[in-house]
């Protein structure tokens, strides 16, 4: 009579192994996230898609709501405003975030990098609305601590500072102030993951700081830059808090239909037309997903390095 089998059952198959505790913990964290994703992401999106293609009675109307939104006299000016803002915002984010991350990485040996990273990140700890309120205070020449600079630039009143032609630049400054710090930290971490052997080889070959950054560090940051651009574009299409608060603070100088999200909000809560509002929201979703798909496909984002 044979003894008990060890390492395999009588069929010869190895015993099933239980997942290690760390893996089970990871599955638990992911499961919690999936619950939130479904509850606050997938379900609301499906709800919006349903309203976008139906009328007030629930009947399917195809693209009628999309066409009605496009015929509104405020729609294409809002598209232009958001498009200009996106160009400025994404360009500023890529240029200055990557540049500042490279500078901080270069300064790491001098002991000031950690303090600067913390200072850059502090504005990102503020909620979006709180950050805008700070800027409303800074942009008023009467009460701003830098009011002398505003007055020296020819701005005597708050209305002059927030003239419609200035809004894309102002919104870019606000967004960069609140959002760039976190991305600088991310890029700095990516730079830290570049092998020191590669950088040392470049130094031995005679590459200076500029050549090292341009030919080695930036190419190795490519996927992180693409990831940042995708999320920045998606977030930029949702421009709402900045123009909405500015509209209320300026008593109509900045309109409440400046962005597409504002226009959607106006349709939903001023005109009581949730279907048109949902159609605009779905259009923004499609635009963001399309741009993300193009960047992922053209950049080889998921290719193995």
34 falls within a domain: no
b/e per residue, 127-154, with b = 16+ CB within 10 A?
Answer: eeeebbeebbebbbbeebeebeebeeee
Does 29 fall in a domain?
Answer: no
Q: Is residue 152 part of a domain?
A: yes
**36 in a domain, yes or no?**
no
Q: In terms of residue numbers, what domain contains 266?
A: 72-299
Once rounded to an integer, what is the mean pLDDT over residues 69-78?
94
Q: Is it the case that residue 244 has pLDDT exceeding 50?
A: yes
Tokens 């608060």 -> residue: 245
d(CA 279, CA 271): 14
Q: How far apart are CA 113 and CA 107, in angstroms?
A: 6
For residues 129 and 49, give the distance between their C-alpha atoms in angstroms, rounded to a whole number.
28
**With 90 as the cut, is the pLDDT of residue 180 above it?**
no
Q: How many domains does the chain divide into?
A: 1
pLDDT at 196: 85
pTM of the model: 0.83
- 16-20, 189-193, 222-226: range with lowest mean pLDDT: 16-20
Q: Do the domain assignments include residue 285? A: yes
Please state, in angstroms and rounded to a whole number, the distance separating the CA atoms of residues 243 and 12.
Answer: 69
Q: Are 92 and 228 in contact (CB under 8 A)?
A: no
Instruction: For residue 33, tell me if it sits in a domain.
Output: no
- Three-state DSSP class for residue 231: helix
In a domain, 31, yes or no: no
d(CA 209, CA 106): 8
Question: Quick check: is 196 in a domain?
Answer: yes
CATH number of the domain enclosing 158: 1.10.3720.10
Q: What is the mean pLDDT of residues 98-116?
A: 75
Q: What is the mean pLDDT of residues 70-92?
A: 94
CB 61 within 8 A of CB 200: no
Instruction: For 109-149, write each residue's pLDDT tens digit.
Output: 556 656 666 666 666 666 566 777 888 888 889 888 888 98
Contact 182, 208 (CB under 8 A): no
Residue 298 exposed, middle or buried by CB count within 10 Å (0-12, 13-18, 19+): exposed
């Amino acid at each position: 009579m044979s003894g008990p089998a060890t390492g395999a059952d009588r069929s010869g198959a190895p015993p099933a192994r239980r997942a290690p505790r760390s893996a089970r913990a990871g599955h638990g964290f992911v499961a919690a996230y999936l619950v939130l994703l479904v509850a606050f992401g997938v379900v609301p999106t499906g709800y919006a898609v349903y309203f976008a293609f139906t009328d007030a009675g629930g009947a399917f109307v195809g693209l009628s709501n999309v066409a009605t939104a496009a015929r509104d006299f405020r729609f294409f000016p809002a598209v232009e405003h958001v498009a200009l803002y996106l160009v400025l915002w994404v360009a500023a984010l890529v240029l200055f975030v990557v540049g500042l991350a490279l500078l901080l990485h270069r300064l790491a040996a001098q002991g000031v990098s950690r303090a600067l990273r913390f200072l850059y990140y502090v504005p990102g700890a503020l909620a979006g609305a709180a950050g805008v309120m700070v800027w409303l205070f800074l942009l008023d020449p009467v009460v701003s601590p830098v009011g002398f600079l505003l007055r020296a630039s020819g701005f005597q009143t708050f209305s002059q500072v927030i003239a419609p032609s200035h809004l894309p630049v102002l919104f870019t400054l606000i967004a960069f102030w609140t959002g760039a710090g976190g991305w600088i930290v991310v890029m700095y971490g990516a730079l830290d993951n570049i092998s020191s052997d590669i950088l040392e080889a470049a130094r031995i070959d005679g590459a200076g700081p500029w050549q090292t950054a341009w030919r080695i560090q930036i190419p190795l940051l490519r996927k992180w830059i693409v990831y940042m651009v995708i999320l920045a574009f998606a977030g930029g299409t949702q421009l709402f808090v900045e123009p909405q608060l500015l509209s209320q603070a300026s008593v109509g100088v900045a309109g409440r239909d400046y962005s597409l999200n504002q226009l959607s909000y106006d349709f939903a809560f001023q005109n009581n037309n949730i279907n048109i509002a949902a159609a605009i929201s779905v259009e923004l979703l499609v635009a963001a997903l399309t741009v993300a798909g193009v960047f992922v496909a053209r950049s080889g984002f998921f290719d193995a390095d």
